[in-house]
Amino acid sequence: MRINKIIKDKIKLDYLFIQGALDIDSNYFINEINKGIKEKENENFKTNVKGLMTSWQYFNNNNNFLKGILPIFDYLDSLKNIIPYCLHSAWGIKEGFSNYTHEHDHGHEPNYFSGIIYLNDHTQTLLFPEIKLKFKPILNSFLLFSSFLKHKTIRNTSLCPSSKQKCWVEF
């Protein structure tokens, strides 16, 4: 074998990052997540999420979820030169004590955007190392970001009861 050149470098990419809040019933979604993490098709501890997780498409056909994210879609549609998008998957996550999420991106997904809707306040922050942002979960807040952005959480050290564990919907 002969190697003529190796290039290992970073390139700058345009990305989108939106932070906002939604008017949703967070208790409804927490209850739905609690149901979904008990179903046979759950993804508990099987993915980058080292915690409890519903199936990948758990919220895809949930009318309350779809109604909740329509304002996000309306905003995206108002932007110039927006890349076509669609809802590919929407799942729920619950991270209790010592749970965390490995650094990952959603670049393999068919969508250009990823999103998170936080269903409660929590101390476990979401980190975006490449763009040097961190976000503390706030009830009904959302993030929408370019899917190729790497993100992670560190271990949850909050000793809160199950009803207060960090919960969110990701899409």
Q: Which residues pair with 93 in a beta bridge?
A: 53, 168
Domain ranges of the chain: 17-170
- Which residues lie below 8 Å from residue 77, measured CB to CB, with a gap of 6+? none
Query: pLDDT per residue over 78-133, tens digit each?
Result: 998 888 888 999 999 999 999 999 999 998 766 789 999 999 999 999 999 999 99
Query: pLDDT per residue over 45-76, tens digit each?
Result: 999 999 999 999 999 999 999 999 999 999 99
Task: For the full predicted model, state whether its pTM sits above 0.95.
Answer: no
Fold of 17-170: Jelly Rolls (2.60.120)
